[in-house]
Structure formats: structure tokens, C-alpha cells
């Protein structure tokens, strides 16, 4: 099998690629990487898998590639990716691109930062983050989730109109992440909630499998809160 | 002219698109937007130019687009963009994509943040940012500039190998930005310096033209 995916289910872009490949029935070798064990930080990973020492990574034969959005495009050209994910029609494709470029410094940055500061930081350092600082991260994430509704979800069932595309998959994986830190992005956001349910239903079992660990931890975090 | 570019030369991705279009001789109508005057914050802008209220924005007839990297790809498909900017060859193209996706949360995020906290924040609020906080932003930027050398520039004259691509243009526009504050990214970074000189020379005169305002302010900041 020429295609290998190095991933961790706790990594949002890893989940997006995993779900994409499984749903599209593209054969690949599963290479899970335990980020919590620092598996990506050793020299072996650096020299043999990726010099960036992150996930996800794909190897297509000898060709090594990082950055999930770049990988999506590569797969759409080189493998049999169903067209709805990344339409060949130029203007439809440009709309998917527009979201995928916007999300880096918006929904990805803010949801990931809050998750890191609230959930990861205490695990690594043994301390909680200063409440005032944490409140700042939370506010920025909340403003961004509001903007998802206003800027992207007010004109159709999906981000790019009436059909599911890779934009929805990438966004959904980011929006799920803060649930690990007991924050449910859909509370108070009915449009976001309806959209997320739509994506979860449409992608069914593959989406559920990729989010199984996250869902388990999120349920525990919710109970701990109560 | 069906193509319009809404831009401000103090915006890094605006400069990248401006230079790309000029250098490729693709005709477009120049629609400069004065960010310092809040021109993007009006309802007029929101309803007629772009709901995101930022620059750059491209209008191709009725089709409105934001996000410079998305626009680059659109131009590569729809207009006569010289192939070297964004190669049609799949493996070469994906290397350009890999950098352009990486740069958002790395060189763009860190250089832009430092510029905003050091230069824009005092202009907007009348106060300086706390030195401790500013030092953190500076450190993040410096670590990222170091990683430009080790991760991207250690293996060829350009980011994607031996030829100039859009990756270099986008990166260069970001790397220039902190100079507005009096910080020179190439000091102590000879590989980065040699690469930036290469871009400035090769993409002449449009690169120089697009950076004229930045260069003026940078010189003043150096003297101060």
C-alpha cells in the first residue's frame, strides 16, 4: 500500500484526513502516533517521518507531505477522491479554498489555543492557567464561534452552500476540540449546532470512530464539571 | 476591466497579491483601502466589497473573493499566471501548498502579532504594551524566523527548491513586516538575509514599489 497516514485522534487535522480517507475508501496504512508519549519528538520521527515533528503526515511511496489542507489537494489530484469534497468547478473550489485559508487563524487557532491552555497546560505543568488569561482565550474562541454562524453558516446548510465539502469536515473537527475542555460550542449557538449535527450524521460511522476518544474524554469532563 | 484588487500596502497579503498581479502583467483596477482610516469598517465596505471587512479582496466581475492564498489559486486557474508562481506539476505544486498552509500559523501569525503589538497598539491606544508581554511576542517571532532557516531554507535557494515560487513572495512580504517597528529579521540570520535579497532582486521593480511605504517607515523606526 503506497499511502501511509501518520496521525493521532486527538489532533483535529489528523481526524479530518482520517475521516476523508475512510469515507472515500482510499486504501492507506494506519500509522498512529502517540503525541501524549512524545512519539513525534524523537530523532527517528524527525528523520524518517517528518522534519516538522507534527501530525498529520502522509507518505505516498517516497513522497512525504505535511499540512492537512495541502494533503487534501494532493489527494484530490492524485487519488480517487469523490469530487464533492473538493469540487473541480473553479468557483466552487475557490469557495472551499477561501474557508480553508480563513480557518487557520480563526476557528483553528482559537479553538486549539483554548483546548491547549485549558486541558493540555495543566496536564503538562501540573498547574491551572491564570483565570484572567484563560478567560481571554475563552472570549476569543467564543467570538470566533459566533463569527462562524454569521460569516459562514447564515446562507445555506453548509459552509459553501447546499452541499457538504471538505470545508465542513475541517471546521467540524476544530469545533469539536473544545469539548475536551468541557466547553460545548453549540450551547447558545443553534445554527452552529444544527450544522454540526448535519455533518456528524452525514459522515456517520467514520466520523464517530475518529471522535470516539474525544467523545469519551468530553463526557468525563462534563461529569467532572457537575 | 473585470478584475479589481482592494488592498493596502501596509497589509502583507495585499502586497503579495499586488506584486503577483503586476509582475504577471495581469490587468486589474487598483482599489486602495486606507486601513488606518478604518475604510474597511463601514457598512458600505461590508455590503459592497466584502463581509469580512479586511484586505485583500478581489472582485472578478460579480465574483468576490478573500484570502490571498485562495485568490492565488483562483488566478492560477482563471488568468494567465506564469507557471513558475504556482506550478501545474502536482508534486511541485504541493510543495508550494505545504508552505502556504504552514505559514498562516507560523511566520504570518508571529510576525504580524509582533508588528501589531509593537507598532499598531501604541498608535491605537496611546500606550505601550507591557514590556514582559511584548518580549513574549518578540520571542515567538524570533523562534519562528529561526525555523524559517532550519525548516525551509536549508535545502536550496528558495523555499521550494531552486526556483522562485509564490511561497517565497508570500513569505517575504511577512518577513518584511516587523521592519516597520525597527526590528530587522535578517540580523543574525545570514541564510534568511541571502534569501530575502534574492527575492527583492528577482521581483524587481514591483517588489520595491509595493514596499516603498514600508521601507520609509522602517528607516524612520531604525533612526528612532
Confidence at A38, pLDDT banded by 50, 70, 90: very high
Give the residue, A87 or A124, on which the prediction is more confident: A87
Mind telling me how many Å the CA of A187 is from chain B's nearest CA?
A: 24
Nearest by Cα to A153 from A183, A178, A108, A186: A186
Whole-number pLDDT of residue B102: 98
CATH number of A3-78: 3.40.30.10
Instruction: Tell whether the model's pLDDT for residue A1 goes beyond 70.
Output: no
Q: Provide, as residue numbers in chain B, all residues whose Cβ is less than 8 Å from the Cβ of A74.
A: 90, 94, 97
Q: Provide, as residue numbers in chain A, all residues whose Cβ is less than 8 Å from the Cβ of B94.
A: 65, 70, 73-74
Residue contact A70–B108, C-beta within 8 A: no
Residue ranges per structural domain of chain B: 3-78, 90-223
**What interface predicted TM-score (ipTM) does this complex get?**
0.96
Tens of pLDDT, residues B124-142? 899 999 999 999 999 999 9
- Nearest CB partner across the interface for A90, out of B66, B77, B93: B77
Residue ranges per structural domain of chain A: 3-78, 90-225
Q: Is B102 on the interface with A (CB under 8 A)?
A: yes
- Nearest CB partner across the interface for B105, out of A70, A91, A104: A104
- Nearest CB partner across the interface for A67, out of B91, B101, B109: B101
Q: Is B116 on the interface with A (CB under 8 A)?
A: no
Whole-number pLDDT of residue A78: 95
Instruction: Tell whether the model's pLDDT for residue A225 goes beyond 90.
Output: no
Residues of A with CB under 8 A from a CB of B: 51-52, 63, 65-70, 73-74, 77-78, 90-91, 93-94, 97-98, 100-102, 104-105, 108-109, 151
Confidence at A110, pLDDT banded by 50, 70, 90: very high
**Number of CB pairs, chain A paired with chain B, less than 8 A apart:** 69
Write the DSSP assignment of chain B as a string of letters.
--EEEEE-TTSHHHHHHHHHHHHTT---EEEE--GGGTGGGSHHIIIII-TT--S-EEEETTEEEE-HHHHHHHHHHHS---GGGS-SSHHHHHHHHHHHHHHIIIIIHHHHHHHIIIIIHHHHHSSPPPHHHHHHHHHHHHHHHHHIIIIISTTSSBTTBSS--HHHHHHHHHHHGGGGGT--TTTT-HHHHHHHHHHHHHTTTHHHHHTHHHHHHHHHHHH-
Tens of pLDDT, residues B94-115? 999 999 999 999 999 999 999 9
Mind telling me how many Å the CA of A79 is from chain B's nearest CA?
A: 12
Mind telling me how many Å the CA of B223 is from chain A's nearest CA?
A: 33
Whole-number pLDDT of residue A15: 98
Q: By CB neighbour count within 10 A (0-12 exposed, 13-18 middle, 19+ buried), where does A179 fall?
A: buried
Tens of pLDDT, residues A129-185? 999 999 999 999 999 999 999 999 998 999 999 999 999 999 999 999 999 999 999
Chain A interface test: which of B47, B52, B64, B97 (most A C-beta within 10 Å): B97
Q: Cis bond leading into B205, ω under 30°?
A: yes
Instruction: Tell whether the model's pLDDT for residue B86 goes beyond 90.
Output: yes
Q: Is B104 on the interface with A (CB under 8 A)?
A: yes
Confidence at A221, pLDDT banded by 50, 70, 90: confident
The fold of B90-223 is Glutathione S-transferase Yfyf (Class Pi); Chain A, domain 2 (1.20.1050)
Q: Provide, as residue numbers in chain A, all residues whose Cβ is less than 8 Å from the Cβ of B91.
A: 63
Q: What is the mean pLDDT of chain A?
A: 96
Whole-number pLDDT of residue A226: 60
Check: CB of residue A56 under 8 Å from CB of residue A68.
yes
Tens of pLDDT, residues B17-27? 999 999 999 99
Residue contact A73–B94, C-beta within 8 A: yes
The second-level CATH assignment, the architecture, of A90-225 is Up-down Bundle (1.20)
Mind telling me how many Å the CA of A94 is from chain B's nearest CA?
A: 6
Mind telling me how many Å the CA of A196 is from chain B's nearest CA?
A: 22
* Class of the CATH domain delimited by B3-78: alpha beta
Confidence at B175, pLDDT banded by 50, 70, 90: very high
| Euclidean distance between CA atoms A81 and A68, whole angstroms | 15
Tens of pLDDT, residues A13-23? 999 999 999 99
Instruction: Tell whether the model's pLDDT for residue A8 goes beyond 70.
Output: yes
**How many angstroms separate the Cα of A205 from the Cα of each of A93, A202, A212?**
26, 9, 10
Residue contact A101–B74, C-beta within 8 A: no
Mind telling me how many Å the CA of A160 is from chain B's nearest CA?
A: 13
Confidence at B62, pLDDT banded by 50, 70, 90: very high
Q: Is B73 on the interface with A (CB under 8 A)?
A: yes
User: What is this structure's pTM?
Assistant: 0.96
Nearest CA in chain B to A65: B98
Confidence at B187, pLDDT banded by 50, 70, 90: very high
Q: Is B47 on the interface with A (CB under 8 A)?
A: no
Mind telling me how many Å the CA of A155 is from chain B's nearest CA?
A: 13
Residue contact A66–B94, C-beta within 8 A: no
Amino acid at each position: 500500500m503506497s499511502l501511509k497516514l501518520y496521525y493521532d485522534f486527538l489532533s483535529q487535522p489528523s481526524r479530518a484526513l482520517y475521516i476523508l480517507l475512510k469515507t472515500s475508501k482510499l486504501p492507506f496504512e494506519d500509522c498512529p502516533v502517540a503525541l501524549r508519549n512524545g512519539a513525534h519528538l524523537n530523532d527517528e520521527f524527525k528523520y524518517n517521518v517528518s522534519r516538522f515533528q507534527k501530525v498529520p503526515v502522509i507518505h505516498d511511496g517516497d513522497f512525504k507531505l505535511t499540512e492537512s489542507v495541502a494533503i487534501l489537494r494532493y489527494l484530490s489530484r492524485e487519488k480517487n477522491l469523490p469530487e464533492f469534497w473538493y469540487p473541480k468547478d473553479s468557483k466552487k473550489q475557490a469557495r472551499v479554498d477561501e474557508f480553508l485559508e480563513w480557518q487557520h487563524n480563526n476557528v483553528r487557532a482559537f479553538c486549539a489555543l483554548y483546548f491547549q491552555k485549558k486541558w493540555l497546560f495543566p496536564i503538562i505543568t501540573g498547574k491551572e492557567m491564570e483565570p484572567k488569561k484563560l478567560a481571554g482565550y475563552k472570549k476569543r474562541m467564543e467570538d470566533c464561534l459566533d463569527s462562524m454562524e454569521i460569516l459562514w453558516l447564515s446562507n445555506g446548510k453548509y459552509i459553501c452552500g447546499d452541499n457538504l465539502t471538505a470545508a465542513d469536515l475541517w471546521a467540524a473537527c476544530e469545533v469539536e476540540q473544545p469539548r475536551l475542555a468541557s466547553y460545548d460550542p453549540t450551547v447558545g449557538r443553534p445554527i452552529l449546532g444544527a450544522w454540526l449535527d448535519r455533518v456528524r450524521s452525514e459522515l456517520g460511522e467514520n466520523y464517530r470512530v475518529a471522535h470516539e476518544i474525544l467523545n469519551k474524554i468530553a463526557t468525563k469532563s462534563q461529569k467532572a464539571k457537575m | 476591466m473585470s478584475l479589481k484588487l482592494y488592498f493596502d500596502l501596509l497589509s502583507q497579503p495585499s502586497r503579495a497579491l499586488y506584486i503577483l498581479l503586476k509582475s504577471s502583467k495581469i490587468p486589474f483596477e487598483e482599489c486602495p483601502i486606507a486601513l488606518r482610516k478604518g475604510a474597511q469598517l463601514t457598512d458600505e465596505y461590508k455590503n459592497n466589497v466584502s463581509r469580512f471587512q479586511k484586505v485583500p479582496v478581489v472582485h472578478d466581475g460579480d465574483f468576490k473573493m478573500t484570502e490571498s492564498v485562495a485568490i492565488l489559486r483562483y488566478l492560477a486557474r482563471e488568468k494567465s499566471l506564469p507557471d513558475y508562481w504556482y506550478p501545474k506539476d502536482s508534486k511541485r505544486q504541493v510543495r508550494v501548498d505545504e508552505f502556504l498552509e504552514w505559514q498562516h500559523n507560523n511566520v504570518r501569525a508571529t510576525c504580524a502579532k509582533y508588528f501589531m503589538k509593537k507598532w499598531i497598539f501604541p498608535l491605537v491606544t496611546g500606550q505601550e504594551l507591557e514590556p514582559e508581554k511584548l518580549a513574549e511576542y518578540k520571542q515567538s517571532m524570533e523562534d519562528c524566523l529561526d525555523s524559517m532557516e532550519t525548516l525551509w531554507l536549508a535545502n536550496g535557494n528558495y523555499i521550494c527548491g531552486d526556483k522562485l515560487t509564490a511561497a517565497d513572495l508570500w513569505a517575504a512580504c511577512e518577513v518584511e513586516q516587523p521592519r516597520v517597528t525597527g526590528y530587522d529579521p535578517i540580523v543574525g540570520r545570514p541564510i534568511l538575509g541571502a534569501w530575502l535579497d534574492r527575492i527583492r532582486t528577482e521581483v524587481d521593480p514591483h517588489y520595491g514599489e509595493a514596499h516603498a511605504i514600508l521601507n520609509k517607515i522602517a528607516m524612520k523606526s531604525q533612526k528612532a
